[in-house]
Structures are given as C-alpha cells and as structure tokens.
Amino acid sequence: AKAADELLQQATRLQDAGAQLLVLECIPTELAQQITATVNIPVIGIGAGIHCDGQVLVCYDMLGISKGKRPKFSKNFLTENNSVAAAMSAYVQAVKEHTFPADEHSFDS
C-alpha cells in the first residue's frame, strides 16, 4: 500500500512538473486505474491493465518474434492473422475495443 501511494504521488508530481503523459509498465491494474483517474494527462500502459488511456506493445512481442521469455503482458497477434499488417490492425482493434490487454496480460495487486 505504501509503494502504491508513493507511485500515485509521483504521478501527480510529474504532472504538476509539466509532464505531457505517463507510461506505466508492469503496474497492478487497480493502481494503474487509480493513477489514470487521478491525473489529467494521458496514461499509456504496457502491462498496466485495461483502464489506461492507451496501450503500447513492443512490435516483436506483438508478432511473437522476440527471443527469450515472452513478457506476461504481451500477446502474439500474428498467430491469428495472415500478415504483419493484419496482426498490427488486430492489435489496434483489440485496444480500441478494450479486449486487450485481457486479465491474463495484466498484473494483480
């Protein structure tokens, strides 16, 4: 709880210092939702749940071509599509429809 409170305070301080947006990575969904509701600047998530103002995902992870262990928050969109362009379009659509990130791509408190 103390760490969550500190992150919320830091987000507010960054906004007050003139930040134009925040990127939250690997943050519990509920905390990301609270930060997004508190600040008046866009909040972009990567592994921060569905409630951020926007999402970002590394292209290599989105296409399933990263070497090594796949991050929990990533999804291979290429397996369900027949081209890189179709995979990227599917990602954009999933973000707009709030079907990505799903619970399995997010972190709990």
Residue with tokens 């429809």: 97
Pair (51, 13) in one structural domain: yes
Helix (H/G/I), strand (E/B), else coil: 10: helix
Q: Which domain holds residue 77?
A: 57-100
Q: Are 108 and 49 in contact (CB under 8 A)?
A: no
Considering the domain architecture, whether residues 44 and 62 belong to the same structural domain is answered as no
Q: Which residues are catalytic?
A: 25
- What local confidence, expressed as pLDDT, does residue 15 receive? 98
Cα–Cα distances (Å) from 29 to 62, 65, 68, 77, 105, in that order, read: 20, 26, 25, 22, 10
Same domain, yes or no: 66 and 46? no
CA distances in angstroms from 83 to 56, 70, 90, 108, listed in the order given: 20, 20, 10, 33
Count: domains in the chain: 2
Q: What is the largest CA-CA distance in the chain?
A: 46
Judge if 50 and 1 occupy the same domain: yes
Tens digits of residue pLDDT in 9-59? 999 999 999 999 999 999 999 999 999 999 999 999 999 999 999 999 999
Per-residue confidence band for 108, with pLDDT thresholds at 50, 70 and 90: confident
What band does 8 get if pLDDT is binned at 50, 70 and 90?
Answer: very high
Task: Answer yes or no: is pLDDT of 109 > 70.
Answer: no
- On whether both 2 and 51 belong to a single domain, the answer is yes
pLDDT tens-place string over residues 93-106: 999 999 999 999 99
103 residue type, one letter: D
| Residue 92 counted as domain residue | yes
